[in-house]
Structure 1
């Protein structure tokens, strides 16, 4: 059965690659996922572009384990040399947009859920959500499903980790920041030029370090990523706009990050866009982590954001593929990574369920 599921999972991934599914445009890939469940006689539900199901022997008295990955993609970048919407198999690599992030994870989790679907006497209930709008952190993705699906006690989020255990993940706060000055004609003296004032601010952001570090996630990482000022060559503008990207470790809440920066940063305003993308983690002594370590997987803290940020329960990020390939030109995943991923998912869950 497992070998057949592997073959069918790879065929599903090919269909997903060849079907455009930018965030909020996943209606056609949702149909492919529905067809899988129909073919395997899995009772499923669809909520907008999220497709989900629970195991046959669901028991409300038991804790529930969520299996989740997403079927939306970013838009392909201009450096692609291959057709991003064509599933191309070369030398054991399956090329195509979304193959690595996170199609390989998704089809591996779908195959795993299907394997356990009719199992009896499981310790955990299983819920799978093939979610939408992960790449855009949109309103109709996994976050919208938490009030729809059964209450979740723990989760495995499928993202490319080389099938190692990402036991913590950094959160994200993006700030819109303003440095003000005195607007003037460029020909006249002005010792309050906002662009020059920004030099001090940029140096402060470059040098600033948060006090608390994390054993798994290291330091909070603060990066100025955008700058905008001025509309004409002969006029000094009134303000410079900066965008600051802050990757938050599990030693801080997003609200604490905002409080620190608003109190200390040398700028005129620092407004967070959202506080909802918090860091996430799972205790190292959780049975999922112990089971993963027992079958030879290593643990680490992930700097990249995923739908884990939507969850308040303990969550583990785990999946086939390599995060460094995500959003890259000529994205690919090895077929052997998918096959190994299904094996490891099943072995891990057999040790827990």
Structure 2
């Protein structure tokens, strides 16, 4: 079917949503969810808004159009905090030629605007496809994906899902996962005038960090995936000491372990524990994992030759995307949760990932329009109309 997005409406939708603060933390995605409901309910979508915590809602809009697969459009309603360094208003969209500036323009309210427009086009062109379309927009992707976890815990069976993230409308079929152990290094306190009477936890943490660096270089970085590259292990935070004149008896390290598709999270945890045990046996370093910081989730992939991947690549090529893919995200997103729920999924969206999370974040009007048509095209390729005999 032909696709003719309403450009003025696309731009207006994005402007309205940018003006609805949903910085995470704290999130407060309710206003965006209500906006989606107002736009899709008049078109026949069944609306459900469910909070996993106060003022932290997901919204799902379901349109049943005869027999056929269940297809989900998904992206997130939260954004990272505005931060500093902006030369444009962060929470009021600014248009300069083709560029639309504002927090969330690229990540991920641009994807949301294109998915809304695609849903409208499909709702008014029901003879062109058959099945069930769900537009599900979630909270909290930027911190720990609580919204997607909550939705997919008890969601209807979904055959196909497009996750909206800034990919310049190329097709991403895989992404890394993340694991963040909090490691406590234990020492023995003493007066700083007689440090030999204690055991300095910061010194031991330094020795442990050298082991972590060596383990990354010798083992972890050699775990690779053709689309997302190599796995990694590094220290991203450190804290210790309680007084200027006291030998510290504790030091905390935050580790960041990036997993590639095919790796098992429990195996990665076991590997880290083994690293700590070797440090104890060989150098007397006492260290233990005392918790894990929340992350977006694990790694995942959809096979490049899966029907959804093939359809997505064909749709991106038809839209003249110069490098359609398939590619893999270095970071993580909500695809993993839809994959764990049984859906085949890909990541596609307007905007350049290099602009995400930065001051003067922007998306172009052309990217919004192309994303809309790619979304519609994929649905029509995988959900053809029922032929009546």
Q: Tell me the equivalent position of 1:329.
A: 359
Matched, 1:174 2:180: yes
The match for 1:286 is 306
C-alpha change, 1:121 and 1:17, in structure 2 (3 Å) is closer
Q: 1:274 to 1:15 in 2, by over 3 A?
A: closer
Shift of 1:88: 0.6
Q: Residue by residue, what CA displacement relative to the aligned partner does 1:188-235 show, whole Å, maximum 9, x if unpaired?
A: 142732211122211122222325322222221212111001122211
What is the alpha-carbon distance in structure 2 between the residues aligned to residue 200 and residue 319 of structure 1?
43
Partners of 1:231 and 1:81 in 2: how far apart?
A: 41
Query: Which of residues 245, 252, 276 is equivalent to 1:234?
Result: 245
Q: How far does residue 39 in structure 1 lie from its aligned partner after superposition?
A: 4.7
Q: Contact conserved, 1:276 with 1:310, CA < 8 A, in 2?
A: no
SS in 1 for 2:350: coil
8 A Cα contact 1:63 1:124, kept in partner: yes
Deviation at 1:338, TM superposition (A): 0.5
Q: Partner of 1:128 in structure 2?
A: 135
Q: 1:281: how far off?
A: 1.0
Q: 1:30 corresponds to which residue? A: 33
Query: Quick check: 2:262–2:300 contact (8 Å CA) kept in 1?
Result: no
Task: Measure, in 2, the Cα distance between the counterparts of 1:2 and 1:38.
Answer: 21
Please state if 1:98 is matched with 2:128.
no
* Change beyond 3 A, Cα 1:5–1:150: farther
What is the CA–CA distance in structure 2 between the aligned matches of 1:124 and 1:25, rounded to whole Å?
A: 32
**CA shift digits 1:223-262 (9 cap, x unpaired):** 2111001122211110110001111101212111101111
TM-score, length-scaled by structure 2: 0.84
Aligned to 2:73, the other structure's residue is in SS state: strand
The gaps in structure 2 that reach 5 residues or longer are 52-56, 280-285, 318-323, 384-389
Match of 1:160 among 153, 162, 166: 166
Q: How does 1:187-266 map to 2 (within 5 A)?
A: 187-190=193-196, 192-208=199-215, 209-210=219-220, 212-265=223-276, 266=279
Verify: 1:64 aligned to 2:70, yes or no.
Answer: yes
SS of match in other structure, 1:44: strand
Structure 1 residues 276 and 100, CA, compared in 2 at 3 Å: closer, same or farther? Answer: closer
Q: Quick check: 2:149–2:337 contact (8 Å CA) kept in 1?
A: yes
CA–CA distance in 2 between the matches of 1:148 and 1:212? Answer: 33
* Distance (whole Å) between structure 2 residues aligned to residue 220 and residue 253 of structure 1: 12
The match for 2:287 is: 268
Question: Once the 2 structures are TM-superposed, how far is the Cα of residue 150 of structure 1 from its aligned partner?
Answer: 1.8
* Distance in 2 separating the partners of 1:302 and 1:342: 21
* Residues in 1 aligned to 2:373 and 2:294: alpha-carbon distance in whole angstroms: 38
Which runs of 5 or more structure 1 residues have no equivalent in the other structure?
A: none
Tell me, in whole angstroms, the C-alpha distance in 2 between the residues paired with 1:195 and 1:94: 48
265-274 or 46-55: bigger deviation: 265-274
Aligned-partner SS, 2:235: strand
Give yes or no for the alignment of 1:54 onto 2:62. yes
Indicate the SS of the match to 1:256: helix
- Following superposition, the deviation at residue 121 of structure 1 comes to 7.3
Contact 2:94 2:101 in 1 (8 A): yes
How does the TM-score come out when normalised to structure 1?
0.92
Match of 2:380 among 322, 342, 350: 350
Question: Which deviates the most, 1-10 or 261-270?
Answer: 1-10
Post-superposition shift, 1:64? 1.8
Q: For the residues of structure 1 that align with 2:349 and 2:288, how far apart are their CA atoms?
A: 40
Q: CA RMSD in A?
A: 2.2
Bigger mean CA deviation after superposition, 189-198 or 256-265 = 189-198
